[in-house]
Structure 1
């Protein structure tokens, strides 16, 4: 009888072992309920086929175990199917009153209890699942206990101690097996969940490591990372470039796993080795500025510590090329000194104007009292004084670096306001002006005085470059993101070699020019965030193009100037 009992237990445990192999693949999780239903059906039918009658009274059949387990893990559809199979196996017990009573109790007590318990079972923890499955096993045993009791009382051996003892053992084994099956299946599920979590964490860790390595590799900073023994674990291409002359035969991957001292010739004289050595010995972040050839580096070494026990697990060194920053800092210092000199020069030139005004006044007075043949000399003196005063005025305008007030204006309106003055200058020279203004034209934030000075300078330069009967053309153009002012003349043009120096202070192509007009125009344009370009062809003429950016505005907020 023990062999039969062991056989029933093994058959009842078949779904458990199969479940363990099935559940080991995460992609099969969705089909687990149906898989359990099939296995438990096979197990139930096998248990019924190999069932035996002990002492011709007790039917040894553990089909209830796969029935309960399959229903709880498979869900309500599987439970309904297994219940049909289970009911089909009860036909032999329905021949008398007690068998029919047990069947009725099964239908009205156990089946509802089983269906109600499925949802709570699937949401419960392991211990609660064991209690639910054990309770259902005892409840199912109790529904058919009347049949078993009737068989025992009507048999000659009803009160045989061996039969009672074995019946007790079978019941205990039955409950223990149900309890153990749940324990094993939950252990398998927990193992798979832990495996999935570990796999997910490993993937996340690997992705983070790859992103960090990629970041280190493409960062424009040399990075060297070593472990607590000084073994190189990572270095990027910038670090190899920094040591390229010292280890030209080694590639980056060849250096991984070697001591950091292989990166240089002498650790005693090498800042890299000194900083890493200090970091490995627990020093705080230490930085040094090192010059290697024509390149300046700022090198910083720091230790890497474990977050839990604060022990040193490695060190890192970063080196940043600050050559360009150093050069820019020196350039800023030079510009500050030049700015100071410019301010002093502006103050000096401003003070020069006062005695020059006195000199011009006395020269004019002497001209009025001098003979006629000497007045031309005094006129030359006053013209030169006026020219010097003009140079000083242009220089002061160029040297000023003050914040100017801006207002919303249209270039078309400013040009129209200047046209009477420009027409007067053109008529005196025997020249003409052609105007081509784009309409409508957006409003710009400009300083009215400076823009007028810009237009006057460019227009008068064009007039001075032309002979009599020349044509000066002023036009405005609007593009998608910019507005342009174009000033074109029909003069002699400017050669390519002179175009390069056109905006340099005190450089001029005119015999009596100061060389400050175009630099002043450039300064005005830059103050307004614009650009100025010049194109010229000798014998044809020159065109100055001034462009300003137009910020994108919605149709409701865009302001358009009317002519």
Structure 2
């Protein structure tokens, strides 16, 4: 009984030695050093082969014999497993090492015992099964291992006991022990295959998870880059309304209103609070309700001097329930200004069309009335001439208002030509000086020595200069000085018309170019809007500088075309 227990201990020791290569193999996998040629086979199995060779050596060192003379050495397990898993050359080296170890320690000695204990006769089958073994599944690998392991162990166990079995015609304890050893070896081989495959499956799962994690991180970074590239102000909130993420454009938009806010500070606040200081209470409550309801919405809000279009949409969980809100804010301030200007232009065009339609009907009776007044004046006493003159002056004034109104309302394309601004001023100078002399005023010309040619509509520019010059003279008393100055400023030519009149208050300057707004008692409020319309048709601008009690200066800025022969003296 004691001998059997000792033999069982030796069997368990051999099982431990046979599986010792798994320790090295598992450690190597845990280090993440093994890479794969395909899903089932590592690129470099040298460590597995080395581990199996070490297990073969350990099993050989611990080898002994069971009752009945059975060779107790499970080195065949790591040897066969290593040959099946390894490439051909590595497997051939491992087979040679196993054969050599068996030759040195085989009991009993002799060529026949070495061939039986090493399973050398099964090597052709073993190497033939190596290729399909590498591509097989776990259970299939176990079956392929058993196809060579069972015959090998059967001969190792049964050959020394065949004579005893024939003589005894029965199974004694020794025969049962060696039979159990046979099946333990076969089952142990299956367990070793299962352990190897399980370890590899864990590595596969780990690699797959790492790949998914890396892909998820890359997709997140890619999405973040996309949101930063797209010129939209995007921000996300959780179910409590707190900001969870925002792109760079949204960060810049928030800093427009809160310059000291950092990304970290913004991410710790509720989204509705960002609008609390720049919208009215009703709009704030509306936005707060939108964020809390987690529904799609589209609202336009006024925030200080800016107008924003706010789009919101819920973020759905896998179950379909909202898990937050995504908000897109678009600055539509300029678009609203353009829309307002377009509406104004459309109304102005409509007024122009209406005016053009009725002008003929108005001017005809006015011409008839003026003609009859002249006839009546010739036949009336001279003391009535002053009355007739007043009526005809008012008719002429009404006709002038109609002309200005039409000029302002028309959206015609100007016919332009390259001309010298100084030539236009020189043609107008006698008319301006004559008007100034009648008023007891003087005119000064300060022109630049050389100006580039400008592409202008001469008739319109003359009307522009005359309107502004006469406005300046009307704003001055006798002995006032009207100055016309030209200068080159970068790629622009500036024409300054300055008077020494009473000046204009700053609160009135902003409305100077509004239709029908005037500071004169007899003005129509159409002269300056007409001037602005002419300048804009020439791609220019007007600047007004005025000081009450000192005078006013209108600066007309006109761009010129850069060319080699454009500069004229």
- TM-score of the superposed pair, with normalisation by structure 2: 0.58
Task: Compute the displacement of 1:457 (Å).
Answer: 4.4
What is aligned with 2:262? none
Aligned pairs, number: 472
What is aligned with 1:52? 64
In the alignment, the residues of structure 1 paired with residue 495 and residue 289 of structure 2 have an alpha-carbon distance, to the nearest angstrom, of 65
Task: Compute the displacement of 1:9 (Å).
Answer: 1.4
The answer as to whether partners of 1:71 and 1:82 remain within 8 angstroms in 2 is yes
1:359 to 344, 355, 369: 369
Question: Does 2:192 align with 1:189?
Answer: no
**1:39-95 CA distances to partner (integer Å, 9 max, x unpaired)?**
323222111101112346432211122233345556567545534532431434695
What is aligned with 1:262? none
Task: Compute the displacement of 1:519 (Å).
Answer: 2.2
The answer as to whether partners of 2:79 and 2:94 remain within 8 angstroms in 1 is yes
In the alignment, the residues of structure 2 paired with residue 385 and residue 236 of structure 1 have an alpha-carbon distance, to the nearest angstrom, of 69
What is aligned with 1:245? none
Cα 1:275–1:428 shift into 2, 3 Å: closer
In the alignment, the residues of structure 1 paired with residue 483 and residue 182 of structure 2 have an alpha-carbon distance, to the nearest angstrom, of 122
Q: Within 5 A, what are the aligned runs for 1:366-405?
A: 382-399=392-409
What is aligned with 1:414? 417
The answer as to whether partners of 2:122 and 2:148 remain within 8 angstroms in 1 is no
In the alignment, the residues of structure 1 paired with residue 559 and residue 134 of structure 2 have an alpha-carbon distance, to the nearest angstrom, of 73
Cα RMSD (Å): 6.3
2:354 is paired with a residue of what secondary structure?
helix
Gaps of 5+ in 1: 226-231, 239-250, 256-269, 442-447, 479-483, 551-558
Q: Within 5 A, what are the aligned runs for 1:418-497?
A: 423-426=426-429, 428-429=431-432, 436-437=451-452, 455-461=461-467, 464=470, 473=486, 478=491, 484=492, 486-489=493-496, 491-492=498-499, 497=506
What is aligned with 1:532? 541
What is aligned with 1:267? none
**1:229-258 CA distances to partner (integer Å, 9 max, x unpaired)?**
xxx5x54499xxxxxxxxxxxx99899xxx
Cα 1:377–1:198 shift into 2, 3 Å: same
The answer as to whether partners of 2:500 and 2:551 remain within 8 angstroms in 1 is yes
Gaps of 5+ in 2: 1-6, 37-41, 246-265, 271-284, 434-444, 474-479
In the alignment, the residues of structure 2 paired with residue 387 and residue 42 of structure 1 have an alpha-carbon distance, to the nearest angstrom, of 118
Q: Within 5 A, what are the aligned runs for 1:124-139?
A: 124-135=136-147, 137=149
**1:341-381 CA distances to partner (integer Å, 9 max, x unpaired)?**
99469736745444333334444555666788877776665
1:62 is paired with a residue of what secondary structure?
coil
Question: Does 2:111 align with 1:96?
Answer: yes
1:89 is paired with a residue of what secondary structure?
helix
In the alignment, the residues of structure 2 paired with residue 276 and residue 470 of structure 1 have an alpha-carbon distance, to the nearest angstrom, of 61
The answer as to whether partners of 2:126 and 2:148 remain within 8 angstroms in 1 is no
In the alignment, the residues of structure 1 paired with residue 309 and residue 497 of structure 2 have an alpha-carbon distance, to the nearest angstrom, of 57
In the alignment, the residues of structure 2 paired with residue 81 and residue 106 of structure 1 have an alpha-carbon distance, to the nearest angstrom, of 17
1:179 to 162, 179, 190: 190
Question: Does 2:10 align with 1:4?
Answer: yes
Cα 1:457–1:37 shift into 2, 3 Å: farther
- TM-score of the superposed pair, with normalisation by structure 1: 0.58
In the alignment, the residues of structure 2 paired with residue 137 and residue 368 of structure 1 have an alpha-carbon distance, to the nearest angstrom, of 142
The answer as to whether partners of 1:532 and 1:547 remain within 8 angstroms in 2 is no
In the alignment, the residues of structure 2 paired with residue 156 and residue 224 of structure 1 have an alpha-carbon distance, to the nearest angstrom, of 82
